[in-house]
């Protein structure tokens, strides 16, 4: 059975579980490890059965719980190389070695750890306590930066890293993954189309507009998780500073309800059984506004009335969708 479970979606944290065949993938890790595990269990997903974590881009709402979760489960993390490099900068601001040196060190550590026994269960407590210490230490003022590092564990340590490239499909167990470039202000952001048991599932959030390559990827999918980030009037009149508003509105920002509706109305092929609106801004949107815009777009096309429209939330998981 193929299953798609949005654990959280929004500007404060994103993660989704994609299951197909005997494989389970966590797409982004934007909540704390503990909260992700709590929501997985609430949704009937066992964190211990996850096989890999895939990262769309390095923004905090997609990687907050990444290192702790990957270490706890001892599973590989898939990034593009540029995304990984940016994540490294964020998580270890004191690091003085070059990226190539770090990569070599990481590979050695991963080889050593392969011999270690795995964790005994989905409990994040120890790891997260350690992580807080490490991150606090990383904020030490500039003048202390050359002192020997004492914090443990290294906040950038991951059990294993796999690099992928946008435009080059790859396989994780029983799930085929097609990563595609999206326009967003991150190092090398991607969306994904997953295929398992003949079912195609697309994840496209965090994009300033929908360019032709993304439109092509979103054809013929059975499930579409598509961003509907903000209501234009709420954003314009809202509390964000001018520069942040400009960033959100830009070609490398986020999709508005209107932009998503325009795509659904004019260019979407209507194939998906489920359309999930996601990455709603808590400050500049309301679920009812996002839903209304999309419903109006779909209702203009009689052929799309069979599409089921759902809105993913920040504070609670969406019920698992099964195929």
Write out the residues near Zn ion by the rule CB under 5 A: 59, 61, 206
Residue number, 59 or 95, with CB nearest to Zn ion = 59
- Identity of the residue, 8 or 158, whose beta carbon is nearer to Zn ion in the bound complex: 8
CB of 275 to Zn ion, least distance (A): 19
Residue with smaller CB distance to Zn ion, 188 or 206: 206
Q: Which is nearer to Zn ion, 20 or 253 (CB)?
A: 253
- Residue 32 phi/psi, 5-degree rounding, is -65, 155
The residue among 96, 106, 22, 94 whose CA lies nearest residue 70 is 106
CB nearer Zn ion, residue 173 or residue 287: 287
- Give whichever of 199 and 277 is closer to Zn ion, judged by the CB atom: 277
- Rounded Cα distance between 219 and 212, Å, is 11
Distance in angstroms (rounded) separating the CA atoms of residues 191 and 56: 6
In the chain, count of helices (H) and strands (E)?
11, 14
Smallest distance from Zn ion to CB 229, Å: 9
Q: Which two tokens stand for residue 59?
A: 């923004």
CB of 62 to Zn ion, least distance (A): 6
Q: How far is the CB of 184 from Zn ion (least distance, A)?
A: 6
DSSP letters, 246-303, are: HHHHSTTS--BHHHHHHHHHHT--S--SEEEEE---SSS--HHHHHHHHHHHHHT-GG
Burial class of residue 226 (count of CB atoms within 10 Å of its CB; 0-12, 13-18, 19+): buried
- Find the residue with minimal CB distance to Zn ion: 59
User: Shortest gap between Cβ of 163 and Zn ion (angstroms)?
Assistant: 20
> Smallest distance, Å, CB 110 to Zn ion?
27
> How open is the CA angle 219-225-227, to the nearest 5 degrees?
105
């Amino acid at each position: 059975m193929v299953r798609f479970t949005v654990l959280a979606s929004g500007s404060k944290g994103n993660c989704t579980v994609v299951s197909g065949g005997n494989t389970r993938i966590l797409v982004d890790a934007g909540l704390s490890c503990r909260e992700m595990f709590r929501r997985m269990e609430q949704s009937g997903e066992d964190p211990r059965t996850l096989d890999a974590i895939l990262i769309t881009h390095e923004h905090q709402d997609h990687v907050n719980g990444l290192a702790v979760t990957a270490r706890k489960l001892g599973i590989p993390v898939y990034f593009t190389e540029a995304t990984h490099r940016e994540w490294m900068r964020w998580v270890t601001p004191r690091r003085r070695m070059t990226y190539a040196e770090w990569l070599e060190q990481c590979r050695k550590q991963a080889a050593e750890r392969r011999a270690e026994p795995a964790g005994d269960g989905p409990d994040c407590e120890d790891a997260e306590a350690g992580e807080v210490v490490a991150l606090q230490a990383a904020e030490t003022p500039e003048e202390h930066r050359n002192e020997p590092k004492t914090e443990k564990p290294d906040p950038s340590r991951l059990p294993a890293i796999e690099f992928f490239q946008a435009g080059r499909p790859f396989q994780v167990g029983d799930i085929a993954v097609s990563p595609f470039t999206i326009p967003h202000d991150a190092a090398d952001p991607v969306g994904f189309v997953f295929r398992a048991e003949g079912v195609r599932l697309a994840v496209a959030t965090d994009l300033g507009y929908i360019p032709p390559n993304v439109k092509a990827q979103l054809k013929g999918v059975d499930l579409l998780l598509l961003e509907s980030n903000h209501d234009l009037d709420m954003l314009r009149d809202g509390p964000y500073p001018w520069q942040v508003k400009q960033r959100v509105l830009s070609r490398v920002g986020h999709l508005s309800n209107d932009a998503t509706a325009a795509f659904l109305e004019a260019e979407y092929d209507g194939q998906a059984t489920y359309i999930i609106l996601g990455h709603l801004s808590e400050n500049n949107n309301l679920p009812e506004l996002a839903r209304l815009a999309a419903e109006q777009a779909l209702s203009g096309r009689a052929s799309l009335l069979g599409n089921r429209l759902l809105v993913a939330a920040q504070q609670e998981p969406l019920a698992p969708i099964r195929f």
